[in-house]
């Protein structure tokens, strides 16, 4: 059965399933090995009492997850309570009917634990892959989102749009266990995206990967104002924050252990975009400073940073991406253990007061 609601902020972890060479050993996992690690990580997260586990979508050989619903279905069979979400589903180039039916099926398999976090994605390889034009980037997303939300509300749908064949009294099956499949939108730094999430009345998952978190406060304000202007109840407007994290017993240990993998991650991500310079240790120390959003440190420091963000945003959910840069699984597992046993209890206690 799905986990009962508890007081305080929801806490979880997510993966984009990146595949790269370990900077210390040179070893690169196969896609098979990476997927098996992700399932094992989800089992650990479930056993540790975390609330959510997410899997992202990419269509590249250096990522192992092009179909989050399939991987999450395997996770559903290996877990008992943790909620399962995409992080994110690239809605611009996915057929909304297929996306909904996949996650409705996941909901059946998981006894009501499925969610969809939809976004526009950081890469554009899915556009030519599925026959869409990047010129239609924004309009596609808006139309697909409108249809997806309609599918969550009605089992028989009539609809017409510009980019997808019309539906006339179409049965949308299966129906999920949950009365309505939860939908969130992933938002980066765009005020337009934040306002869209508010206008549609869905949750907003704010990706904060670095810098001072204060600069994201206007996006939360745009989201709430757009939602209220559209007639949505304030309690319907939920904010999540997602970001990179690494936790060790001390802050110095966390920085020393994480630096090679964090620098490695951005080296191969930026290389995909035509840039290949590696981050220096000095730069890393700057981006992990106490006033930044990057969550690298002891349980106490990471807890303090998340609570400071909570004072800014009042968010209901926090998701950590722990497994970047080809880290060995034991390091990811240890970081997750500290998140669950030392960070999460304090966060739940303190945020339940507000």
Per-residue model confidence as pLDDT tens for the chain (354 residues): 444 567 899 999 999 999 999 999 999 999 999 999 999 999 999 999 999 999 999 999 999 999 999 999 999 999 999 999 999 999 999 999 999 999 999 999 999 999 999 998 778 899 999 999 999 999 999 999 999 999 999 999 999 999 999 999 999 999 999 999 999 999 998 999 999 999 999 999 999 999 999 999 999 999 999 999 999 999 999 999 999 999 999 999 999 999 999 999 999 888 877 777 889 999 999 999 999 999 999 999 999 999 999 999 999 999 999 999 999 999 999 999 999 999 999 999 999 987
Q: Can you give the residue range of the structural domain that contains 18?
A: 10-352
Give domain status of residue 48, yes or no: yes
Give domain status of residue 5, yes or no: no
Site of tokens 């269509």: 59
Q: Is the dihedral of CA 296, 299, 303, 306 positive or negative?
A: positive
45 contacts: CB under 8 Å, gap ≥ 6: 12, 13, 53, 79, 82, 336, 340
Question: Cα separation of 330 and 337, whole Å?
Answer: 10
Question: Cα separation of 64 and 18, whole Å?
Answer: 6
Tell me whether strands 167-171 and 156-159 are parallel, antiparallel or unpaired.
antiparallel
| DSSP string across 68-110 | HHHHHHHHHHH-SS-EEEES-EEGGGS-HHHHHHHHHHHHHHT
SS3 of residue 319 by DSSP: strand
Question: Cα separation of 264 and 19, whole Å?
Answer: 11
Give domain status of residue 3, yes or no: no
Site of tokens 């110095």: 252
Is residue 87 within 8 Å of residue 108, measured between CB atoms? no
Residue 271 CB-density burial (10 A; 0-12 exposed, 13-18 middle, 19+ buried) = middle
Question: Cα separation of 193 and 218, whole Å?
Answer: 12
Give domain status of residue 181, yes or no: yes
Token pair in block for residue 18: 């990146």
Instruction: Quote the pLDDT of residue 3.
Output: 47
Closest CA to 88 of 115, 48, 125: 115
Question: Cα separation of 241 and 40, whole Å?
Answer: 24
Of how many residues is the chain composed? 354
Closest CA to 56 of 207, 267, 194: 207
Distance from the Cα of residue 345 to its chain's centroid: 21
Give domain status of residue 313, yes or no: yes
Site of tokens 């309609």: 150
CATH value at residue 82: 3.20.20.30
Q: Is the dihedral of CA 130, 19, 259, 253 positive or negative?
A: positive
Domain count, the chain: 1
Give domain status of residue 4, yes or no: no
Give domain status of residue 21, yes or no: yes
Spell out a b/e string for 9-22, using b for 16 or more CB atoms within 10 Å of the CB, else e.
bbbbbbbbbbbbeb
Give domain status of residue 1, yes or no: no
Question: Cα separation of 291 and 212, whole Å?
Answer: 6
SS3 of residue 18 by DSSP: strand
CA distances from 155 to 94, 114, 176, 177, 191 (A): 20, 17, 10, 13, 33
């Amino acid at each position: 059965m799905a986990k009962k609601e508890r007081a305080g902020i929801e806490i979880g972890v997510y993966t984009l399933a990146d595949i790269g060479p370990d900077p210390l050993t040179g070893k690169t996992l196969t896609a098979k090995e990476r997927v098996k690690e992700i399932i094992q990580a989800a089992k650990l997260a479930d056993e540790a009492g975390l609330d959510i586990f997410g899997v992202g979508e990419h269509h590249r050989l250096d990522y192992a997850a092009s179909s989050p619903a399939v991987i999450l279905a395997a996770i559903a069979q290996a877990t008992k309570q943790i909620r399962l979400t995409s992080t994110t589903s690239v809605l611009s180039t996915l057929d909304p009917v297929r996306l909904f039916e996949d996650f409705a099926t996941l909901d059946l398999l998981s006894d009501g634990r499925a969610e969809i976090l939809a976004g526009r994605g950081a890469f554009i390889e899915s556009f030519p892959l599925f026959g869409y034009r990047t010129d239609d980037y924004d309009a596609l997303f808006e139309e697909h989102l409108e249809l997806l939300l309609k599918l969550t509300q009605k089992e028989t749908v009539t609809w017409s749009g510009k980019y997808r064949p019309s539906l006339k009294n179409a049965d949308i099956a299966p129906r999920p266990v949950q009365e309505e499949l939860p939908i969130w939108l992933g938002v980066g730094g765009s005020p337009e995206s934040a306002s869209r999430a508010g206008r549609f009345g869905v949750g907003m998952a704010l990706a904060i990967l670095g810098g001072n978190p204060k600069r994201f406060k206007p996006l939360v304000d745009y989201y709430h104002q757009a939602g209220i202007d559209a007639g949505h109840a304030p309690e319907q407007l939920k904010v999540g924050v997602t970001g990179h994290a690494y936790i060790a017993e001390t802050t110095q240990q966390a920085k020393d252990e994480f630096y090679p993998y964090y620098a490695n991650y951005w080296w191969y991500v930026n290389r995909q975009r035509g840039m290949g310079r590696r981050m220096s240790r000095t730069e890393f120390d700057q981006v992990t400073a106490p006033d930044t959003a990057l969550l690298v440190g002891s349980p106490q420091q990471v807890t303090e940073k998340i609570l400071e963000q909570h004072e800014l945003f009042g968010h209901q959910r926090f998701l950590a991406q722990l497994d970047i840069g080809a880290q060995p699984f034991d390091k990811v597992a240890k970081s997750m253990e500290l998140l669950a046993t030392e960070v999460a209890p304090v966060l739940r206690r303190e945020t339940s007061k507000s």
